Amino acid sequence: MDTFYIIANSQKEDSIRLRDRIAGYLRDCGKICSYQEECVPQEAAGYRFTDPKKVPEDVECVIVLGGDGTVIQAARDLACRDVAFLGVNLGTVGYLAEIEAKEYEEALNSLMRGEYHLESRMMLDGKAYGKAGELYHSRALNDIVISRTGGLRIINFQIFVNGRYLKSYNADGMIISTPTGSTGYNLSAGGPIVEPGADMLLVTPICAHSVNARSIVLSGEDVVEVVIGPGRKTKEEQAVATFDGDTAVTLVTGERIVIRKSGRNTKLIKLNDRSFLEILSKKLK
């Protein structure tokens, strides 16, 4: 690899210092390296923190400094670009961030020598529809969560798969997760852990009011539709759909969100032979 781009949190001094060290090291090695100058939310512009138009066309590797959340947001912002991501962990979890900050020189040397492989992760494509048409459209790498708002009351979620009714959950919310997101909110809600390279959708209720409520594992080719059902005494209920825990859109009774596998994947750079199970065992202690 010869051309790099760095995404760092401009509000954090440790992130900026590491960005400058990495950029200097790559340039001293004769490589091309540019970076994002600032990190300001720009939701109305169609991205959150990283403007795809400012990333040079010939960039081969995007180095993301931060935790898993930073890697996820960068993947969403740059989903329209065919680039590979290397996460440098400045957080605590590090499922997606491949290396620790102190390992950056060794990691960069491996990249420049071509000693790496790419791991493809599926993304979700979600479209929310209101009574007047489409409300919102975005992608997610981890999950799309539809949950209650306001008071402590359950919501009736009607689940359809490929246009056919599957079942209803009376619950606090529903998680539609990728295999990458299976170790996130899905796991906390009692959902299954899935090897991240798999091609499938996980449908997991949050605090369902039934002893028989379980997660459902679907093919990656299936299309899941979640409809907000009527409340008690036909009262209109309100829920909110969030994409990777960040962007949110409000839905009311009768409105829906349609979720399918995205036509875009996230490519993560792998520099070591540690298996997913090895990492999982370490993180779960």
Instruction: Look at residue 157 in the predicted model and tell me its pLDDT.
Output: 96
Taking residues 6-33, what's their average pLDDT?
92
Chain center to CA of 101: 22
DSSP string, 179-223: SGGGGTHHHHTTPPP--TT--EEEEEEES-SSTT---EEEETT--
pTM: 0.90
For 20-43, the pLDDT digits (tens) are 999 999 999 999 999 988 766 666
pLDDT at 246 over 90: no
For 181-195, the pLDDT digits (tens) are 999 999 999 999 999
Question: What tokens does 237 get?
Answer: 């209920």
pLDDT band at 12 (very low <50, low <70, confident <90, very high): confident
Buried b (16+ CB within 10 A) or exposed e, 113-123: eeebeebebbb
Instruction: Look at residue 230 in the predicted model and tell me its pLDDT.
Output: 87
Instruction: Look at residue 49 in the predicted model and tell me its pLDDT.
Output: 83
Residues in the chain, overall count: 285
Q: Tell me which H or E stretch contains 127.
A: strand 117-130
Instruction: Look at residue 39 in the predicted model and tell me its pLDDT.
Output: 66
For 70-104, the pLDDT digits (tens) are 899 999 999 999 999 999 988 766 678 888 889 89
Question: Cβ distance 226 to 259 under 8 Å?
Answer: yes
Question: What tokens does 2 get?
Answer: 């010869």
- Distance, CA of 96 to CA of 267 (rounded, Å): 11
Instruction: Look at residue 130 in the predicted model and tell me its pLDDT.
Output: 93
Instruction: Look at residue 43 in the predicted model and tell me its pLDDT.
Output: 63
CA-angle at 143, arms to 139 and 121, nearest 5°: 70
- Distance, CA of 117 to CA of 138 (rounded, Å): 28
Residues marked active site are found at 68
CB atoms within 10 A of CB 93: 13
Instruction: Look at residue 105 in the predicted model and tell me its pLDDT.
Output: 94
Taking residues 251-256, what's their average pLDDT?
95
Q: Which of 28-42, 142-156, 170-184, 269-283 has the lowest mean pLDDT?
A: 269-283
Taking residues 129-139, what's their average pLDDT?
92
Give 88: exposed, middle or buried? Use CB within 10 Å, 0-12, 13-18, 19+. buried
Pairing of strands 84-89, 99-100: parallel
Alpha helices in the chain (DSSP H): 13-28, 68-77, 104-113, 185-188, 276-284
Q: Mean of the per-residue pLDDT values for the chain?
A: 90
Question: Cβ distance 55 to 49 under 8 Å?
Answer: no
Taking residues 126-147, what's their average pLDDT?
94
Strand partners, 119: 268
